[in-house]
Amino acid sequence: MYYLDANVFISAVIDAQTLGDNSGLILDKIARKELSCTTSLLTLDEVCYVIGQNKDRRTAIRFCENFLELPINFVNVDRQIMASSFDLMKEFPLLPRDAIHAATAKSRYLTKIISEDADFDKLPEFQRLTIAQAARL
């Protein structure tokens, strides 16, 4: 089981190069149930916002509606996850959203994160796989 960062979804829509192609491969594997993944429900907000800023609102909404249909384990962000994210921010130089992603993964005992964000490399309990690495799983 892997934790998915928002950039996997965002790259699938806004990157027309290899990164976008590899992101699409990951999403296809998830759709075919060849890859089991978890992400925060807040990922939807992040994805919808960024795609809306880089494409258009309609594309963002349509993609996120499809995103909800994928066989992904979506985790609600609760008080405990938020408290854990603040602890992570105190210990490591993380942005709030990255800390929430890490705390969400940690709450599900996940140690592998698929992301292009090297900030996750600062967290010793996690192994980050790039999108290219994950596309080859």
What is the average pLDDT value for the chain, to the nearest integer?
A: 96
DSSP, residue by residue, 83-132:
HHHHHHHHHS---HHHHHHHHHHHHTT--EEE-S-GGGGG-TT-EEE-HH
Task: State the CATH number of the domain containing residue 118.
Answer: 3.40.50.1010
| Total number of domains constituting the chain | 1
* Tens digit of each residue's pLDDT (9 = 90 or more) over 31-42: 999 999 999 999
Beta strands 37-40 and 73-75 are parallel
Domain range holding 42? 2-76+112-135
How much of the chain is helix, strand and coil, in % rounded to 5?
60, 10, 25
> Against a cut of 0.85, is the pTM above it?
yes
Within a domain: 31: yes
CA-CA distance, 42 to 45, in Å (whole number)?
5
pLDDT band at 16 (very low <50, low <70, confident <90, very high): confident
* Tens digit of each residue's pLDDT (9 = 90 or more) over 55-90: 999 999 999 999 999 999 999 999 999 999 999 999
Within a domain: 87: no
Within a domain: 84: no
Within a domain: 45: yes
Within a domain: 20: yes
